[in-house]
Amino acid sequence: MVKAYLRYAPLRPCGLVCSPVAPSGIAYVGSTSTSSAASGILAVASLDALTLFSARTGAPQQPYTCAGLDLAGVRAAPRVVSLRATATCVAVGYADGSVRTFAVQGTVIANAPTMTLSAHRSAVRALAFGADAPRVPGCEAQGNDAVEALLATTSDDTTAAVWDTLGESVVARLKGHSAPVTGAAFVVAASGAVRLLTVSRDGTLRAWDPLDRKTCVLRVRATEHALATLAVSPTGDRAIVAGVGNGGGVSVFALAVSEHEDATAAAAVGEDEAIAIVHVGTIRPPPLPAAMAIAQPRAADAAVDSAVFDDTGTFLVTLSGASKAGIFVYRRRSEDEMARQLKRRRKRKIEKQKKKGNLGEDANDDGEDEDGANSADLEWEHVAHVATSAKPRSLALRPSATLLPVAGARKRAGEVVNSQPSRLEMTVTLTNNAFEMHELVADADPPSRRTKLVERMGHRHGARCMSFGDDDGSTVVTGGHGGIKCWSLERYHALAGGFDDDDGDDYNGDLGRTSLPLTCKRTTSLGSETVTCVLVAPGSRHAVAGTKEGGIYVVDLSSGEVVDEHVDAHVASKPGTSSSGVNGITSHPDNGGFTTCGADGSVKIWEWVARKVQKSDKARKDKKKKKKSGKKNGDDDGGDDDDDDDEHDQVGDDNDMPTSEALQLSVEHVRTLQMDDECLAVYRVGALLAVALLNTTIQVVRAGSLQLAYSLYGHKLPVTCMSCDTDLSLIASGSGDKSLRLWGVDFGDCRRTFRPAHEAGLTAVTFVPQTHHLFTCARDGMVKYWDGDTGEHLLSLPGHGPEEVWSLAVSNDGAFLCTVGQDRSIRVWERTEEPFFAEEEREARVEALLDNGTEDRLASMDAAARQVGADGGGDGDDQEALVEARSARRTLDAMGAADDLVAALELATAEEKRMEEGRGKKNPPPPNPMLLGQSPTEYVLRALRGVRTPDLEAVFCSLPFHAAYHLLERIAHTMSAGEKVPFVPLEHAGAASTRRVTCDEHLMRCASLLVRLHRTPLVSSSRGTALLKWMREPLRSGARHMRDMATFNMMAIERLLK
């Protein structure tokens, strides 16, 4: 009977604020009218999803995962790498080369895509809407309605594409760049002609005609370095390009209609009847103040990753992701300001020359030439630099129509300025899973200040460990760098698929309001320490955290306070050594305590105790002040404040609070077991205690006496994780050697080995309660579901993509699985009522491997491997890629050869049946031309001889048993009767012939290998036993003949050598 299992389906990813890998992953969405300013939203790329925040407060509005992504398949959903928004549409570019567009109505984004495009073969780096195209100065008034429906995409595959969003078809594919294309923008030139500007890492700026000629019309060598961004001013007269090198500066190009531009200047960069591109100069950033200079990279290493204009063209903001002080704001001077600035420059130059005494007649001419060469610095004025709390990744400017003027700015000498100057607001995503909102007033002092910091939704550097509580799994605690977080698992959301449908509004009801399965309730800071293991105490009101620095902390989950601490629990006793840190923690079966192990080689046993503590008036007063200060600063955290209970706010008069005693949970160290090596993991197995050591062994000791019971050997690298089933019969261990082993608790025997279980070292393993099913995760980014009884690989859960998965946990009822990884997300899977079979899942994984373009990927890997070989070696990563490419190619070749054998057997059987039906008729059927003039048996043997000898075992392992049986039957017929004799099945053959017609070494090897690989099903069936008896004599005689031939050849060689 075939066993069925229940599938685990993914829910919404949690713990993410923004993606650290999206260079253009933020945009303001919705109408830019003043009436919608209060309700404006921000769309932020969060790995494979878009998360919406309030543009005013930074509070999360509508987190959701874009529909249409394959979240439940055998591969991870593609990541968002580019984002572009207009008032009515949002376009999202993914790492797999696809583009999806979503409709926008007001401040609501549709959950289902309106259009899905297979745009490129690689990641989509830039998006541009034709509706945002500015007009180049000098062009005529008539417009071009065709540009309104255009969408441009650029990719790492060195191509750009232009799409018609109404017809959902490609308009043009533009090829010409020799490196990834990183920026794109539409402009409307002379007579309404549409031009597409693109920049690439090959250092060129190109102008394309996407509608008529569909080719490059202008090509400008912008720089000798790679270009990373392109921005065109809303006025259409300036284009900004920037990238690596150039000291962190940006190059400015003037855009104009060709007939209004100087002929020599246009010819210097190319000629086009619609547009001219002329290099104006370079804007170089000024030196930073001394307080911020330490965060600025060297000029040679400075690279501008992004450049953005505001919608009036007044401000230009550049971003460099290599520095916390990498955001510079420039303001475009007016004509009067430029004239005054030029006059001051010339005056200063003349004064300097007078001091030196070399004032000549050509002073004015030299000054004019110098000013002309530096016209970009003359046109653009640096007004501010913005410092962020972490390295910036991408930025977006709030539309100026939604900004209110600010009064109280200082007035410049000799200038007439508005009493209420304009204000600039920007949102910057950071590399530490957070984003900031900054406000800039050009004439204020200081010019910029941070207004919001949204960071409380997740860990800054990703969670390293996690644990479920015993309250039906509704409490989840995660730990990472800086502290721990307590989450609440909303089961009613999860069972409803993560949706709460809104009532009343039909539009919103169709979209649904998505909700996250996990909600952050408390955050406890532990300073600069990194939590490596965490355990929820019985009752789910406290948690224990072990840190990399060797400390043990007890945290009250209701208040988020540390109630007990042992900072030197696992600190090396020898001075000067760095072997400190808590590596594992496990609870006791009686819930009376827990056991920890550390890098200092010690295993410590702890017990829960209740201690009386004094709560003084001063402590309560400090708590009240802390609560009020938290509420006062709540707006700076973007609406992500902790939802403390109302009872904490009810604090009376300080004079009416007498000192009282209260019981407080704490821990007490009772015993210590010192091991011979560093301890990596520990797990309590009933009355036994399993400890994994650095020397690759597992020491199992008796928990009562701490005496060694037995040792487990078998792993080639240290064991990193362990778990035990509910009935205390199996111990599962995962190692850095990519293997998973199951051990018997009674005698310590190895019951089963999964090798390799993953493509990288395992990081966590856990059993599903009340079953022998278990989950594993590893550094290859995969979470796998196994059946410990049968050894079947049931499911692969690839939600974390290529990043490492660090920890996992299963709820007490097995209904939910939570994982944390390097991508900083917390993934939740729910057990559904959908059954599946292991054999079907295995076939689906094989089909997905072949259907998802694996052949193309392996072809590129083979090319890279050949290049590594031609270069004479390479580093470790290159050699590992070479081995991976070769092994993967051999696997695909074996699977293809197995499919060819099965097809040949089916064709031969069908042909023999057709010939048998036509025998005796007046007009026999003609031979099948697909057999190439051969008999059916010859055709099958021809396909068999086409398999290389080293691949025979892999090919025969891929064959189903019925195909292996028929193949073995034909081999036996050939060995006993010959290829020319028509094939007769075994049940119709009668007595087996002992006459050996031929002895083919290849057939002998194939027959013996098939018998060895499929021995169990052959001997368990009557047909298989009869087949083995039938071919016993031909095999024996053939083996004797081959032995005699090998002996004769060896003797002949020895004779010749003598």
* Least confident span in 56-70, 512-526, 842-856, 948-962: 56-70
Question: Would you say 970 and 983 are in contact if contact means Cβ atoms under 8 Å apart?
Answer: yes
- Give percent of the chain above pLDDT 70: 77
Phi, psi of 758, deg, nearest 5:
-140, 175
pLDDT of residue 976 exceeding 50, the answer is yes
Boundary residue ending a domain (64, 83, 118): 118
**What tokens were used for 1015?**
């021995």
* Least confident span in 131-145, 867-881, 1009-1023: 867-881
One domain for residues 146 and 88: no
Q: What is the rounded distance in angstroms from the CA atom of residue 468 to the CA atom of residue 160? A: 48
Q: What is the rounded distance in angstroms from the CA atom of residue 651 to the CA atom of residue 526? A: 27
pLDDT of residue 288 exceeding 80, the answer is no
**What tokens were used for 867?**
């290049």
Question: Would you say 330 and 250 are in contact if contact means Cβ atoms under 8 Å apart?
Answer: no
With bands split at pLDDT 50, 70 and 90, how would you rate the model's confidence at 673? very high
Spell 519-532 as b/e; 16+ CB within 10 A means b.
bbbbbbebeebbbb
Asked, for residue 21, whether it belongs to a domain, the answer is yes
How far is the CA of 170 from the CAs of 117, 153, 165, 166, in angstroms?
9, 11, 9, 11
With bands split at pLDDT 50, 70 and 90, how would you rate the model's confidence at 144? low
Asked, for residue 561, whether it belongs to a domain, the answer is no
3-state SS assignment for residue 995:
coil
One domain for residues 781 and 861: no
* Cα of 222 vs its chain's centroid, Å: 33
* Closest to 685 in 3D by CA, of 668, 698, 670: 698
Q: Tell me what pLDDT residue 702 has.
A: 94
Boundary residue ending a domain (793, 820, 850): 850
Q: Tell me what pLDDT residue 507 has.
A: 32
- Tell me whether strands 679-685 and 423-430 are parallel, antiparallel or unpaired: unpaired
Q: What is the rounded distance in angstroms from the CA atom of residue 301 to the CA atom of residue 244? A: 8
pLDDT of residue 767 exceeding 50, the answer is yes
* Closest to 781 in 3D by CA, of 309, 218, 74, 206: 74
Q: Tell me what pLDDT residue 578 has.
A: 59
One domain for residues 23 and 7: no
> Whose structure tokens read 């070292």?
761
Question: Would you say 319 and 327 are in contact if contact means Cβ atoms under 8 Å apart?
Answer: yes
One domain for residues 185 and 70: no
Average pLDDT over residues 996-1016: 77
* Least confident span in 312-321, 520-529, 931-940: 931-940
Alpha helices, H only, 29-68: none
- List the end-to-end C-alpha distance of the chain, in Å, as a whole number: 65
3-state SS assignment for residue 949:
helix
One domain for residues 857 and 836: no
Q: What is the rounded distance in angstroms from the CA atom of residue 305 to the CA atom of residue 182? A: 10
Asked, for residue 399, whether it belongs to a domain, the answer is no
**What tokens were used for 346?**
């010339």
Sequence-distant (6+) residues with CB within 8 A of 315 are 309, 329, 330, 331, 332, 383, 397, 424, 440, 442
pLDDT of residue 787 exceeding 80, the answer is yes
Question: Would you say 797 and 10 are in contact if contact means Cβ atoms under 8 Å apart?
Answer: yes
pLDDT in tens, 891-900: 667 777 888 8
3-state SS assignment for residue 841:
helix
Asked, for residue 129, whether it belongs to a domain, the answer is yes
* Closest to 118 in 3D by CA, of 155, 150, 74: 155
Higher pLDDT, 951 or 184: 184
Question: Would you say 199 and 226 are in contact if contact means Cβ atoms under 8 Å apart?
Answer: no
One domain for residues 729 and 796: yes
Asked, for residue 397, whether it belongs to a domain, the answer is no
Asked, for residue 288, whether it belongs to a domain, the answer is no
> Whose structure tokens read 């100069």?
281
Q: What is the CATH number of the domain that holds 127?
A: 2.130.10.10
pLDDT in tens, 795-809: 999 888 788 999 999
With bands split at pLDDT 50, 70 and 90, how would you rate the model's confidence at 22? low
Domain span holding position 757: 1-12+714-850
Q: Tell me what pLDDT residue 842 has.
A: 84
One domain for residues 25 and 73: yes
One domain for residues 723 and 755: yes
Long-range CB pairs of 784-793, under 8 A, 24+ apart, other chains included: 784/757, 784/758, 785/5, 785/8, 786/740, 786/754, 786/757, 787/3, 787/5, 787/838, 788/725, 788/730, 788/732, 788/742, 788/752, 790/3, 790/838, 791/752, 791/754, 792/838, 793/754, 793/838, 793/842
* Closest to 609 in 3D by CA, of 592, 630, 595: 592
Average pLDDT over residues 347-352: 84
pLDDT of residue 628 exceeding 90, the answer is no
Spell 751-773 as b/e; 16+ CB within 10 A means b.
ebebeebbeebbbbbbbbeeebb
Average pLDDT of the chain? 79
Asked, for residue 500, whether it belongs to a domain, the answer is no
* Closest to 1017 in 3D by CA, of 977, 961, 970: 961
**What domain count does the chain have?**
5
SS3 annotation, 632-682: HCHHHHCCCCCCCCHHHHCCCCHHHCCCEEEEEEEEEEEEEEECCCCEEEE
Q: Kindly report the CA angle at 1013 between 1007 and 1018, in degrees rounded to 5?
A: 80
Asked, for residue 227, whether it belongs to a domain, the answer is yes
One domain for residues 77 and 172: no
SS3 annotation, 1-23: CCCEEEEEEECCCECCCCCCCCC
Q: Tell me what pLDDT residue 686 has.
A: 92
- Tell me whether strands 124-129 and 115-118 are parallel, antiparallel or unpaired: unpaired
Question: Would you say 53 and 59 are in contact if contact means Cβ atoms under 8 Å apart?
Answer: yes
One domain for residues 130 and 235: yes
Question: Would you say 720 and 680 are in contact if contact means Cβ atoms under 8 Å apart?
Answer: yes
Which strands form 561-566's sheet, in the order they lie side by side? 463-468, 475-489, 518-536, 542-547, 552-556, 561-566
Higher pLDDT, 1018 or 920: 1018
One domain for residues 83 and 129: no
One domain for residues 136 and 65: no
pLDDT in tens, 364-404: 444 444 444 457 888 898 888 888 988 899 999 988 755 54
Question: Would you say 210 and 175 are in contact if contact means Cβ atoms under 8 Å apart?
Answer: no
Boundary residue ending a domain (238, 263, 288): 263
Question: Would you say 272 and 139 are in contact if contact means Cβ atoms under 8 Å apart?
Answer: no
- Tell me whether strands 227-232 and 215-221 are parallel, antiparallel or unpaired: unpaired
Tell me how long the chain is.
Answer: 1058
pLDDT of residue 510 exceeding 70, the answer is no
